[in-house]
């Protein structure tokens, strides 16, 4: 008879001969991990682990009080502004794409307003879902200081007017549910940004992830597939962290 499987430690999981620790996650929120198989040199892990990570981190983010959200984002804005203003000056970037925060995501808006004020010629764009069935998204130009023409929709934000889409961006700021030291990004699971970076956004010169420190994973993000896209640098309330490549 097969031996009875041992219950894994809910805070540490084996992945590719390393340990993955979910920082700040309560054991009750972490699903049981299944067996790791190796085929053709690649590790295949039960997708339930990635889903459990996502649910736990989103729940923690949603639980932020208004005071905590404000305090954390003041620091994030400071670090993000320092990074982007330096990159814009040093490398002559002319276009910046970003998202608009929902559900307590790290908020880039104050930084975008400050950058637009300092760099008057900077063109700013925000993301919108253009085809949910094919998980397609695009960017359209907007003014960070005037959101009157932008409305909330079932898939984020969209313009109330007909707009031209523009995807030839120098810098893009993306939301993150979780991340690791290599810049690997855990998103909401729809794959919108992954598809965009693989297609229309493949020539973006700088990918910036925005997150909170509690979203940082202590080791490699599990199930980082061939279609997943990473970022070049991550900004949190603690500072700017360039990905280890």
What is the pTM assigned to this prediction?
Answer: 0.78
82-111 per-position pLDDT tens digit = 999 999 999 999 999 999 999 999 999 999
pLDDT of residue 70: 98
Contact (CB, 8 A) for 185 and 111: no
Per residue in 170-202, is it b (16+ CB within 10 Å) or e — as a string?
A: bbbbbbbbbbbbebbbbbeeeebbbbbbeebbe
pLDDT of residue 154: 62
pLDDT of residue 59: 96
Residue with tokens 């637009």: 116
CA–CA separation, 192 vs 51, rounded Å?
17
pLDDT of residue 94: 95
CA–CA separation, 106 vs 78, rounded Å?
12
Residues of the chain with pLDDT under 50: 2-46
């Amino acid at each position: 008879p097969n031996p009875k499987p041992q219950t894994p430690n809910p805070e540490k999981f084996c992945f590719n001969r390393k340990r993955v620790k979910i920082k700040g996650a309560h054991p009750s929120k972490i699903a049981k991990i299944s067996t790791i198989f190796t085929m053709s040199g690649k590790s295949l892990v039960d997708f339930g682990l990635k889903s459990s990570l996502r649910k736990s981190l989103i729940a923690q983010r949603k639980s932020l009080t208004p005071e905590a959200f404000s305090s954390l984002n003041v620091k994030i804005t400071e670090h993000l502004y320092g990074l982007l203003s330096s990159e814009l000056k040093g490398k002559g970037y002319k276009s910046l794409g970003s998202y608009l925060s929902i559900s307590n995501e790290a908020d880039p808006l104050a930084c975008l307003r400050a950058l637009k004020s300092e760099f008057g010629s900077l063109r700013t764009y925000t993301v919108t879902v253009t085809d949910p069935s094919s998980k397609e998204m695009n960017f359209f130009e907007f003014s960070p200081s005037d959101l009157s023409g932008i409305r909330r929709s079932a898939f984020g934000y969209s313009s109330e007017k007909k707009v031209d889409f523009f995807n030839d961006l120098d810098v893009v700021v993306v939301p993150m549910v979780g991340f690791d030291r290599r810049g690997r990004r855990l998103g909401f699971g729809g794959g919108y940004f992954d598809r965009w970076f693989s297609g229309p956004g493949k020539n973006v010169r700088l990918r910036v992830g925005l997150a909170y420190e509690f979203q940082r994973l202590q080791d490699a993000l599990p199930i980082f597939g061939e279609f997943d896209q990473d970022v070049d640098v991550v900004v949190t309330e603690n500072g700017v962290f360039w990905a280890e490549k």
